Amino acid sequence: MAQGIPDKIMSNTTLIKDLADVAKDAALLQGVLMRIHETPNSSELVTYAPFTLFPTPVPKAVFLQALAVQTHYNTLVDKISQDPEFLEEALASTIVVDDFTARLFRIHQQILKEGRSQSIVLGLNRSDYMLDQGDDGSSSLKQIEINTFAASFGGLSSRTPDVHRHVLKVAGQLEESRRILDNNPAAGLAKAVAKAWELYGSERAVVMFLVEEGQRNIFDQRYIENELWKRNISTIRKRFDDVTKTGSLDQDKRLFVDDQEVAVVYFRDGYMPENYISEKTWDARLLMERSLAVKCPDISTHLAGTKKVQQVLASPGVLEKFFPDQPQVVEQIRATFAGLYTLDMGPEGEKTVAMALAAPDRFVLKPQREGGGNNIYGSEICQVLQGVKQSTERMAYILMDKIHPTPVQNYLLRRDGPLKISNCLSELGVFGTYVRQGKDMVMNECAGHLLRTKSSEHSDGGVAAGVAVLDNPLLV
Ligand code: ADP
Ligand code: MG
Ligand code: MG
């Protein structure tokens, strides 16, 4: 492995087995934890969150590039969320055929009509990238997507550096162990939440984590909760159902859940259609949106994170509109864009269909969904497009260039998984945080990173989807 772990270690099966045992214990000791699949709502049985045995080499220049562009992405997301005309135009075709996005959009319209009750905005996002391998061996940073809703693993990734450092030391790689960076997104995310809470301005109000039914990944969130408790900010964990049953607004639109005033709603649930099990869930979402509580994200920032918006941003002249006097910012953001193509009705969309059918392996077909496992690849692109190409149904998708990172060998450690060497691909995430009050950006920061790695036999899927595992960059 180039500039990574020496082959003599990678191929020494006895050593690898020992190191895997050491690594798992290190992960448990560091608190890189998940509840087990069978009992997602109990901490009686927990296991290590899946992770790689070794960190993965990442070129320093592209890593720094990803960090450097993050505050601009924060600004961009925020500007989009403040631009109703842009959102309406960008999503006009999508909402004709995608019911979920349409529903979100209707909430957005309703909030605009009523007038936003809260001028404080809290953004916690994660911009994800893969490193596209050039013919000359170079790698360029290409954004896969930006997550403005429930971007996870900021907590656990704050603890993985020490695990890999330890493994490398035990493997006799002291020099390499020093190249693993510190990382603390948990503190960075909590800092922004705390700022929003403070600006809300009520000592007794709490931060509400709106959590999913099955809470396997609770520890990832606990890190952020604990950072808030350290600042003497109370947090509560509630589900949509709790808000349905006990949520209300007072005459000033202050949100109360279980008789507690909520200063900040941090959504960790509500990004998939399946999260909305009934009309009551939608009512609960609307209640929170209408409230005085700071929403992370608010409905417009949620929409700003859709894949359709990402595609529209890549069209000529669009970034310039958001940064009219900052050509260097435009350039810095655009440098990270992969090719993105519309499937709207009309000649541009026709061109996209023809291009995809001619060379499906060069592309990824994406619907407006989150959470991994929804994209379409290879011959299936042809199947799907053949079915929808004549109808407006095709507008539910966007097409994207497929990124080809350099495969790297590693061992993926997961509960009950076999210990075998895999060809792996990695995805680098960068956490961004911002808080705005009215027109003032009071905070805009890069809050750390996340590396996720999966076997190259899987084209899609994140850690929660059971495909990718946690990793750390080893800067080279
Ligand atoms: P989601 O919101 O479901 O996470 P993504 O756009 O991140 O959607 O896609 C899910 C996964 O699919 C990514 O983590 C990555 O592994 C793979 N993927 C997405 N887009 C591309 C692309 N353009 N090239 C290669 N792989 C991709
Ligand atoms: Mg996503
Ligand atoms: Mg993703």
Annotated catalytic residue: which of 291, 429, 452, 472?
A: 452
Residue 269 has pLDDT above 60, yes or no: yes
Residue 459 has what pLDDT?
Answer: 81
Query: So what's the pLDDT on residue 298?
Result: 98
Are residue 469 and residue 350 in the same domain, yes or no? no
Of the candidates 246, 245, 266, the one whose C-alpha atom is nearest the C-alpha of residue 192 is 266
108-152 pLDDT tens trace: 999 999 999 899 999 999 999 999 998 888 899 999 999 999 999
Q: Specify whether 370 is catalytic.
A: yes
Sorting pLDDT into bands at 50, 70 and 90, what band is 1? very low
CATH of the domain at 395: 3.30.1490.50
Q: Is residue 2 part of a domain?
A: no
User: What is the C-alpha to C-alpha distance for residues 466 and 269, in angstroms, rounded to an integer?
Assistant: 18
* Residues 279/285/291/295 CA torsion (nearest 10 deg): 180
Active-site residue, from 35, 195, 307, 394: 307
Q: Which atom of ligand 1 is found nearest the CA of 454?
A: 16
SS (H, E, C) the chain: CCCCCCHHHHCCHHHHHHHHHHHHHHHHHHCCEEECCCCCCCCCCEEECCEECCCEEECHHHHHHHHHHHHHHHHHHHHHHCCHHHHHHHHCCHHHHCHHHHHHHHHHHHHHHHCCCCCEEEEEEEEEEEEEECCCCCEEEEEEEEECCCCCCCCHHHCHHHHHHHHHHHCCCHHHHHCECCCCHHHHHHHHHHHHHHHHCCCCCEEEEECCCCCCCHHHHHHHHHHHHHCCCCEEEECHHHHHHHCEECCCCCEEECCEEEEEEEECCCCCHHHCCCHHHHHHHHHHHHCCCEEECCHHHHHHCCHHHHHHHCCCCHHHHHCCCCHHHHHHHHCCCCCEECCCCCHHHHHHHHHHHHCHHHEEEEECCCCCCCCEECHHHHHHHHHHCCCHHHHHEEEEECCCCCCEEEEEECCCCCCCEEEEEEEEEEEEEEEEECCEEEEEEEEEEEEEEEECCCCCCCCCCCCCEEECEEEC
Model pLDDT, residue 381 = 97
Asked if 198 is an active-site residue, the reply is no
Burial 35-73 (b: 16+ CB within 10 A, else e): beeeeeeeeeebbbbbbbbbbbbbbeebbebbbebbbbb
Distance (angstroms) between ligand 1 centre and the Cα of 460 equals 6
371 Cβ inside 6 Å of ligand 1: yes
Clarify whether 145 is annotated catalytic: yes
Catalytic residue at 371?
A: yes
Q: Do both 356 and 443 map to the same domain?
A: no
Domain-terminating residue out of 402, 422, 450: 402
pLDDT band at 462 (very low <50, low <70, confident <90, very high): confident
Domain count, the chain: 2
Same domain, 277 and 347: no
Average pLDDT, stretch 419-428?
Answer: 96
What is the CA(230)–ligand 3 centre distance, in A? Answer: 31
- Ligand 1 contact, 462 CB (< 6 A): yes
Question: What is the per-residue pLDDT for 460?
Answer: 82
Shared-domain flag, residues 192 and 48? yes
Ligand nearest to the CA of 462: 1
Segment 398-416, tens digit of pLDDT: 999 999 999 999 999 999 8
Q: Which of 377, 304, 253 is nearest to 105 (CA)?
A: 304
In this structure, the answer to whether residues 387 and 414 fall within a common structural domain is: no
The verdict on the CB of residue 372 being under 6 Å from ligand 1 is yes
Is 233 domain-assigned? yes
Q: Is 109 near ligand 1, meaning CB less than 6 Å away?
A: no
Binding site membership of 378 for ligand 1 (Cβ less than 6 Å): no
Question: At which of 384, 402, 420 does a domain end?
Answer: 402
Q: Same domain, yes or no, for 158 and 67?
A: yes
Ligand nearest to the CA of 456: 1
Q: Is 289 touching ligand 1 by the criterion CB < 6 Å?
A: no
**Summary mean pLDDT of the chain:** 96
Nearest Cα residue to atom 19 of ligand 1? 144
Same domain, 323 and 262: yes
pLDDT, tens digit, for every residue of 292-343? 999 999 999 999 999 999 999 999 999 999 999 999 999 999 999 999 999 9
Do 417 and 385 have their domain in common? no
Q: How far apart are CA 193 and CA 13, in angstroms?
A: 45
Residue 425 domain-assigned (yes or no): yes
| 313 and 216 part of one domain | yes
Q: How far is the CA of 96 from the centre of ligand 3 (A)?
A: 24
Residue 468 has a pLDDT of 95
Q: What is the pLDDT of residue 4?
A: 80
Q: Which residues are within 5 Å of ligand 2 (an ion), measured at CB?
A: 145, 147, 370
Q: Whose CA is nearest to atom 13 of ligand 1?
A: 460
Q: Which of 101, 133, 145 to mutate to test the pocket of ligand 1 (most atoms within 8 A of CB)?
A: 145
Give me the catalytic one of 371, 378, 461, 466.
371
Indicate whether 408 and 365 sit together in one domain: no
CA angle 445, 451, 455 (to 5 degrees): 155
**Is 1 inside a domain boundary?**
no
Per annotation, catalytic residue among 24, 93, 123, 126: 126
The answer on 256 and 116 residing in a single domain is: yes
Cβ of 367 closer than 6 Å to ligand 1, yes or no, is no
The model scores a pTM over 0.80: yes
- CA 144 – ligand 1 centroid, Å: 6
Nearest ligand to the CA atom of 461: 1
Q: Ligand 1 within 6 A of 400 CB?
A: yes
Q: Ligand 3 centroid vs 309 CA: distance in angstroms?
A: 15
Average pLDDT score over residue span 27-46: 97
Final residue of a structural domain among 380, 402, 424: 402
Tell me, using a 6 A CB cutoff, whether residue 427 lines ligand 1.
Answer: yes
Q: Are residues 200 and 316 in the same domain?
A: yes
Structural domain span for residue 358? 339-402
